[in-house]
Chain A
């Protein structure tokens, strides 16, 4: 790719980010439109705080007893670890699932629409034993809960 092309793409992206920021600030856009583009920076971040900054705009998280992270105590197969995050908080905007010891800690982010409840369940890969953290965004604040999962066979390497 030539430098000229790169510059154009860079301009396009920065312009797009700028206008979305303005629209979000004025409340013109619904949350799902703001997050329409896949968040490359967040999903490639190797550090948890960096991923949270890129994804949610903050890494200031407080632990909450209203969130339950359901996961097995011991995962025999790290390639398939069932995870459920159930938050009994009103106005859940998004739920992020993080496997803290994975090469890429941020596994998934679920953006909930207006009618959706704070419940999400999926299956993730885990490289090694570590905490699975559920981060719930509600009312502009971040709450978290975690559970340790022991992995006997990792699911990320090969």
Chain B
């Protein structure tokens, strides 16, 4: 699970653009297995938190409506090149992962 997140953060003109990809099945709980006809249990990321120097710059709450292997992008100001940016997620089964990356 250690490498379920990829982050790219770039600072330009005071604004940092963050792009992140997570590896996750994002099952809604409404889908059925075509072979067995059984419902596939819900398994999706509920919460994504992105922190810069201990401050939360973005926090997302998701339903199962976000695509498999989710991608997010957002912008914030106040960071400099070389700063650490931490992104973490928690899913509905209680699993979580986090990743720290330097802003370029």
Query: Measured between alpha carbons, how far is A158 from B76 in the docked complex, in Å?
Result: 38
Quick check: which of A6-14, A31-39, A61-69, A141-149 contacts chain B, the rest being far away? A31-39
Count residues of chain A with CB under 8 A from any CB of chain B: 37
Q: Are B78 and A39 in contact (CB under 8 A)?
A: no
B33 neighbours in A (Cβ, 8 Å): 158
Q: Are B66 and A121 in contact (CB under 8 A)?
A: no
- Decide: A108 near B61, CB < 8 A? Known: A32-B56, A103-B30, A113-B55: yes
Q: Which of A30, A39, A115, A123 contacts B71 (CB 8 A)?
A: A123
Q: Which of B55, B72, B79 contacts A121 (CB 8 A)?
A: B72
Q: How far in angstroms is the closest Cβ of chain B from A34? A: 11
Query: Measured between alpha carbons, how far is A106 from B56 in the docked complex, in Å?
Result: 22
The number of chain B residues touching the other chain, given as a range, is: 35 or more
- Decide: A112 near B63, CB < 8 A? Known: A38-B46, A119-B74, A120-B73: no
Q: Are A104 and B61 in contact (CB under 8 A)?
A: no
Interface residues of A (CB under 8 A from B): 30, 32, 35, 38-39, 43, 79-81, 84, 99, 102-104, 106-117, 119-125, 155-158
Q: For chain B, what secondary structure do more than half of its interface residues adopt (helix, strand, loop), or is it mixed?
A: strand
Q: Are B60 and A113 in contact (CB under 8 A)?
A: no
Q: Are A116 and B74 in contact (CB under 8 A)?
A: yes
Query: Measured between alpha carbons, how far is A113 from B60 in the docked complex, in Å?
Result: 11
Pairs A–B under 8 Å by Cβ, sample size 10: A32-B49, A84-B73, A107-B62, A113-B56, A115-B76, A115-B79, A120-B58, A125-B64, A156-B31, A158-B40
Q: Which of B28, B40, B72, B78 contacts A125 (CB 8 A)?
A: B28
Our count of residue pairs bridging A and B at CB distance below 8 angstroms stands at 123
A156 neighbours in B (Cβ, 8 Å): 28, 30-31, 65
Q: Are B75 and A35 in contact (CB under 8 A)?
A: no
Q: Are A115 and B59 in contact (CB under 8 A)?
A: no
Q: Which of B15, B66, B75 contacts A108 (CB 8 A)?
A: B66
- Decide: A111 near B59, CB < 8 A? Known: A117-B77, A158-B34: yes
Given contacts A79-B68, A108-B61, 12 further A-B contacts (CB under 8 A): A38-B46, A84-B73, A99-B65, A104-B64, A109-B62, A110-B74, A116-B77, A120-B72, A122-B66, A122-B67, A123-B67, A158-B30
Q: How far in angstroms is the closest Cβ of chain B from A42? A: 8
A116 neighbours in B (Cβ, 8 Å): 57-58, 74-77
Q: How far in angstroms is the closest Cβ of chain B from A156? A: 6
A108 neighbours in B (Cβ, 8 Å): 60-63, 65-66
